[in-house]
């Protein structure tokens, strides 16, 4: 995928992940995009490790993988940021 497609893909995946798991964090558009791209990378890495195809195109399977990876990263972010605030 090209850079622009990764940006759009990350923004969609990050937005859906934040919609599924709403919370008090104040992530802007750029941070949401980075969350989605990092989630796609994490999901693709884990998917490839278990024998799946990973994230290779802008399709439903790749989007689901990216959303699951984004949810995992968002959960970790919230867990560690809450501990740091206490």
The pLDDT tens digits for 38-84 are 888 888 788 778 877 666 677 788 888 888 899 999 999 888 876 66
pLDDT of 43 = 82
**Token pair of 27, please?**
């992530």
Q: Please state the pTM of the whole predicted model.
A: 0.82
Of the CA atoms within 13 Å of residue 48, those in its CB half-sphere come to 9
d(CA 44, CA 59): 13
pLDDT of 40 = 83
């Amino acid at each position: 995928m090209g850079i622009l497609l990764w940006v759009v893909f990350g923004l969609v995946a990050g937005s859906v992940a934040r919609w599924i798991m709403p919370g008090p964090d104040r992530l802007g558009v750029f941070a949401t995009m980075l969350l989605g791209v990092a989630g796609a990378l994490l999901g693709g890495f884990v998917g490839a490790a278990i024998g799946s195809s990973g994230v290779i195109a802008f399709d439903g399977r790749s989007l689901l993988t990216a959303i699951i990876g984004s949810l995992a990263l968002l959960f970790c972010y919230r867990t560690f940021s809450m501990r740091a605030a206490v």
